[in-house]
Amino acid sequence: MTDISATSTIRSTAPSKAAIRRKGSTGRGRLPVLLLFLPPALLLFTLFVILPMGEAAWYSLYKWSGYGAPTDFVGLRNFQVLFNNTAFLTSLKNNALIVVVSIIVQIPLAIWLSTMLANKIAGVVLFRLIFFLPYVLAEVAAGLIWRFVYDGDYGLFASLAHLFGVETPYVLADKDLAIYAVLAVIVWKYFGFHMMLFIAGLQSLDKSVLEAAEIDGATGWQKFRYVTLPLLASTLRLSVFFAIVGSLQLFDLIMPLTGGGPFNSTQTMVTFLYNFGVTRMQVGLGSAVGVVLFVICVTLAFGYKRIFMRND
């Protein structure tokens, strides 16, 4: 979740005290410290991040089971197969759907809660804790808990249906409903994180502007719509960014809930990669998914920085 966030800040770390520093950093023993301190990080990073990514690009051009050397060169056929695979197309659609739901349900919910919690009333801290709790829980545990909630025989849904005298729904087994059930869990799991972002954003607002609006006779809603919300714009962008990033790597939560089923209706890109690339050891196809994911992530990181962070 936190992975991509920091790209936006590469720029902001420009050395402000460079001039002073120049003098101080010519101390003795520069070479030993470089030779001792840099190689461990460089080695680990190159070996387990950069090389695997490069290899993914290379393997994606082969049909390969992972044993021996890759020799069966197929060019771009893996990508062709991928974009003709209905399960993969569903996974792309689901990833987009998760972002959309996050923007129209989760973020408004988070803003609403954060403005409520900004009031000075008793118990605010406790509510904040409760709302953040699902975010701290492991995805796997959250997924299993909701699998129970949705269970048609034992779960809470079953007894709710019973209460209303409706036929018991097997939500996670229904290929039309399952994705919505998954989306609800996603909102449940992550809204607290977004709420915390907005609470932090609200705390850093310049209060005098709000007071000025109040003196000018603005109503609560007007103050929110024309003062608070515009001032929260950068938090809002950050929140959308995290929603997209989270959607792109969503895996742990889906596996205990549906595993991508029924009939591949709840696959995301990463569950597709796992179900079709890893479990069947189709290294070429799986790597092709990795490459697509990589291209989306990098485009996003740069595009986002370009378009949205310009004014910050």
Partner 1 sequence: MTNMSTGVRVSAGTKAYLYLSLTLIAAIVLVPLLTTAIGGFKSLGDLRVNPFGLPAEWHPENYTDILFGDRYWRQMMNSLVIAVLTVFLTVTVSAMAAFTFAHVRFFGSNFLLNYFLIGLMFPAATAILPLFIRIRDLGLLNTYWGVVLPQVAFGLGMSILLLRNYFKNLPEELFQAALVDGCGYIRFFWYITLPLSRPIIATVSIISFVGSWNSYILPLIMLNSESIYPWPLGIMVYRGEFGTQWQLVLAFITLTILPTIIVFFLAQKHIIAGLTAGAVKS
Contact positions with partner 1 (CB under 8 A) in 237-266 = 238, 242, 248-249, 251-252, 255-256
Please list the alpha-helical segments (H only) found in the chain. Answer: 18-24, 30-37, 39-45, 51-59, 77-83, 86-101, 107-117, 124-136, 139-150, 156-163, 178-203, 207-215, 220-223, 229-231, 233-248, 254-257, 269-272, 283-308
Interface with partner 1 (CB under 8 A), residue from 49, 104, 173, 212: 49
CB 198 within 8 A of CB 239: yes
For the record, the structure tokens of 45 come out as 């990073």
Tell which one of 155, 244, 265, 276 touches partner 1 (CB under 8 A): 155
Q: Should residue 9 be labelled a site residue for partner 1 when binding is judged by CB under 8 A?
A: yes
Q: How far apart are CA 125 and CA 111, in angstroms?
A: 16
Figure out which of the listed residues 63, 151, 237, 240 binds partner 1, where binding follows CB under 8 A.
151
Q: Which of 68, 71, 75, 153 binds partner 1 (CB under 8 A)?
A: 153
Q: Which of residues 63-82 bind partner 1 (CB under 8 A)?
A: 66
Question: One symbol per residue from 186 to 205: x for binding partner 1 (CB under 8 A), - otherwise; what is it?
Answer: --x---xx--xx--x-x--x
176 or 216, CB closer to partner 1?
216
10 Å CB burial of residue 185 (0-12, 13-18, 19+) is buried
| Nearer residue to partner 1 within complex by CB, 174 or 252 | 252
CA angle 190, 194, 200 (to 5 degrees): 145
Whole-angstrom Cα distance, residue 81 to residue 63?
A: 11
Query: Per-residue contact track with partner 1, 287 to 306, x per CB under 8 A?
Result: x--xx-xx--xx--x-----
Residue closer to partner 1 by CB (options 3, 76) is 3
Per CB under 8 A, which region of 74-82, 84-92, 96-104, 123-131 contacts partner 1?
A: 123-131
Q: Is 93 in the site for partner 1 (CB under 8 A)?
A: no
The CB density around residue 234, as the number of other CB atoms within 10 Å, is: 15
Residue of the chain from 73, 76, 108, 154 that contacts partner 1 (CB under 8 A): 154
CA dist 127 and 215 (Å) reads 31
134 binds partner 1 (CB under 8 A): yes
Cα(214)–Cα(208) distance, integer angstroms:
10
Given the rule CB under 8 A, which of 79-87, 93-101, 153-161, 175-183 is the region that contacts partner 1? 153-161
Choice from 41, 69, 166, 307 touching partner 1 (CB under 8 A): 41
214 binds partner 1 (CB under 8 A): yes
Q: How far is the CB of 251 from partner 1 (least distance, A)?
A: 5
Strands 62-63 and 72-73: antiparallel
